[in-house]
């Protein structure tokens, strides 16, 4: 729970909150909660919510059907977030890589975001992010989101939920 952090959502939006556990069964450490306000063939707007120190694993948004991958701007609303992108590695990063997943985190150029600060990630750029000790709410403004095509560096990750039927 994000103590003292709230965003106004309609009842319909609350019903549409996606809990992305990525198939890792480590939601508190590696996961993401999000609500999509709009996602059309031109643009997308989402709210991303992270528990304290929760990490969205490293991934990139590839070209899809001849169209550039997703370009996205993250704007920190509350809390703090450490965003890592391709580029010169920061000597000592503030995030803590989830134990057992160290091999799957490969980009370490740190961009620290506080409320009101934002950063734009270009298409095809590997990135990952982690909330600070108090959790975070991040607004995402982007081109069309096609999450099912995201490429994660961790081969264990399943971006789209898998429903298993009991036999």
64-111 per-position pLDDT tens digit: 999 999 999 999 999 999 999 999 999 999 999 999 999 999 999 999
127-156 per-position pLDDT tens digit: 999 999 999 999 999 999 998 999 999 999
Residue 68 and residue 149 in contact, taking contact as beta carbons nearer than 8 Å: no
The structure tokens 């550039």 sit at: 68
Torsion of CA 14, 161, 156, 149, to 10 degrees: -90
Helix (H, G, I), strand (E, B) or coil at 80: strand
* 158 has pLDDT over 90: no
* 167 has pLDDT over 90: no
- Among 139, 143, 121, 124, which Cα is nearest to 50's? 139
> Residue 54: its pLDDT value, please?
98
Rounded CA separation 103/123 (Å): 23
160 compared with 161, residue with greater pLDDT:
160
Q: Hey, what are 60's tokens?
A: 């990139």
* 1 has pLDDT over 50: no
Q: Hey, what are 51's tokens?
A: 């528990």
The structure tokens 């734009």 sit at: 120
């Amino acid at each position: 729970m994000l103590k003292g952090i709230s965003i106004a959502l309609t009842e319909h939006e609350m019903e549409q909150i996606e809990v992305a556990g990525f198939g890792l069964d480590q939601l508190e450490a590696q996961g993401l909660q999000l609500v999509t306000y709009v996602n059309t063939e031109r643009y997308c707007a989402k709210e991303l919510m992270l528990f304290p120190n929760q990490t969205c694993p490293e991934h990139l948004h590839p070209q899809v059907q001849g169209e550039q991958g997703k370009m996205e701007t993250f704007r920190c609303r509350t809390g703090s977030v450490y965003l890592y992108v391709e580029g010169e590695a920061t000597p000592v990063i503030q995030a803590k890589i989830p134990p057992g997943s160290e091999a799957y985190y490969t980009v370490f150029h740190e961009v620290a975001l506080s409320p009101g600060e934002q950063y734009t990630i270009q298409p095809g750029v590997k990135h990952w992010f982690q909330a600070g000790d108090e959790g975070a709410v991040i607004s995402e403004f982007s081109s069309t989101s096609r999450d099912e095509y995201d490429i994660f560096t961790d081969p264990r990750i399943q971006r789209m939920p898998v429903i298993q039927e009991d036999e």
